[in-house]
Chain A
């Protein structure tokens, strides 16, 4: 078997696990792949280096792969997604001060995102009356589920995320510091940063990402469309290696080793216990709170999580349209769906059995009408305007 050299970029986050374990446990070497994993500091770098060919493949934000393919927000480069690296894994974390204000304003259970969003609307209104500064929330990138989850949540409370709050991009490693120094009042970020804020006592997890979207398309393995065509064999081997790594990660007996490998300074560079509890979905909302079992907190290659779903691509494009990042057209919708390639996945793994508890619309948003992948006009036209009164 020929030894194929691949350069693959990643961002230090828990959902890079299947990719890094594929290399660190030798699953890629067993497939005849010599992979040079490059840890990057920004999504912009990952995208640019993938687009211009410095990387063969990348761990990428799912919406960013679509934006790149559509030429939205940056240069156009057709990318495809033959495999998902992770579903879910985000959380919305707020400062203890804001949490207290929300608890005071909430009617009903604050753990219910509808109640918390309405409470946030009341807090915002009260702050406005008192002439206080608008609340600031951090997210990781304009084309990210973090941005969309925050907006979806806020919109459910009648909040206009472009007017009533300030949404700012922050690199994930800066999130916790920014919350501690009160530069932001809350954020939505991937694992393990929410738990780190909780451990340090500077934040409280208000909602796990899976409470907002049951099945959120989070990170993908992205490759250039022409690369996939030219290197079909290397791509198949890469998918097999990542799939074996995901199986390894999902075997409870391996978790100590997985946590140790992922915690390494050249991978995530955080405490192994934090990695372990993230993957297991054992999380605290607050430092003095109980450990909760959140089985769907992060899904790496289990319950059909690795198979790309064009409905997910359609949903992400609908978010871009809804929040005025992209124009609405059938052609763009079709192009977005065509980025996600279950056919390439099935060619390697055969027909896979779908998870038994899939939400009917495959997304499972906590609020709003069910998503229709073939008819986004109704959904997209919801726009920024508050639809529901507080």
Chain B
């Protein structure tokens, strides 16, 4: 079922925009446009003439959209409402997730709610994904430092790889530090003594 609602996503993060657009497509919203470029934002938004605008809170251009509440020559279709005054919980959830919605046309409340809910869950999903990616990257770089440290210890103390790792682990335990931290200081020290 295709839903005849035009949605614009304003997000400088292309990955998050895709995640959100996919979610909206799956929910039956076929007319979803992603605006990456925030120059001439208002003009671009009006060219599309959307019913709903979703924007991430890291975007300084969010204030540009505040102009849609005004009645002026620049604004063709003033924003009728944000979300109803009674929906403060929805707004809190959205701000917490890092997204904001502007409703250009008088859409039904349930429809807005479903779009906003979807948006919030996709933003959370993206945050989790980013978190996992960061952790994976940290683990990878820690792995590299530990490998380098093992090499330095094996060479300096003429020991095998297993012994080098044991030495590293014991030192970390006795100093109450993470293995990666001790490894980093060994690498730093080795650089200095070069």
Contact = CB atoms under 8 A, between A and B. Distances in A.
A167 B66 CA distance: 13
A288 interface: no
Nearest to B98: A45
Given A43-B63, A162-B73, A168-B67, A75 B95 contact: no
Interface in B30-52: 39-40, 42
B149 interface: no
B70 to A, nearest CB: 5
A361 to B, nearest CB: 27
Contact of B42 (A73, A140, A168, A174): A168
B60 A41 contact: yes
B61 A73 contact: no
Contacts of A163: 73
A281 to B, nearest CB: 27
A52 B92 contact: yes
A183 interface: yes
A142 B63 CA distance: 9
B64 A170 contact: yes
Contact of B95 (A48, A141, A166): A48
B29 interface: no
B57 A45 contact: yes
A173 B38 CA distance: 13
Interface string A35-77: 0000001111100110010100000000000000001011110
B64 A168 contact: yes
B74 interface: yes
B176 interface: no
A163 B72 CA distance: 8
Contacts, number: 77
A337 B9 CA distance: 39
Residue of B60, B73, B95 most packed against chain A (CB within 10 A): B60
A162 B74 CA distance: 8
B69 A74 contact: yes
Interface string B60-86: 111111110111111000000010010
Contacts of B73: 162-163, 166
B60 A171 contact: yes
A75 B64 contact: no
B186 to A, nearest CB: 31
A171 B40 CA distance: 12
B64 A169 contact: yes
Nearest to B71: A324
B58 interface: yes
B59 interface: yes
A141 B63 contact: yes
A343 to B, nearest CB: 29
A166 B85 CA distance: 31
A48 B98 CA distance: 11
A325 interface: yes
B60 A173 contact: yes
Contact of B62 (A45, A49, A73): A45
B115 interface: no
B91 A42 contact: no
Given A167-B72, A171-B60, A183-B40, A142 B100 contact: no
Given A49-B95, A142-B67, A166-B73, A42 B88 contact: no
Contact of A174 (B60, B62, B100): B60
Nearest to A73: B69
B116 to A, nearest CB: 14
Contacts of B71: 324
Given A52-B91, A73-B70, A183-B39, 10 more contacts: A41-B58, A42-B60, A44-B62, A44-B100, A45-B95, A52-B95, A75-B91, A173-B60, A174-B61, A325-B70
The 6 closest A-B pairs by CB, nearest first: A171-B60, A42-B62, A41-B60, A42-B63, A169-B67, A73-B69
Interface of B: 39-40, 42, 57-67, 69-74, 82, 85, 88, 91-92, 95-96, 100
13 contacts: A41-B60, A42-B61, A42-B62, A54-B95, A73-B70, A142-B66, A142-B70, A167-B72, A168-B42, A168-B64, A170-B64, A171-B64, A173-B60
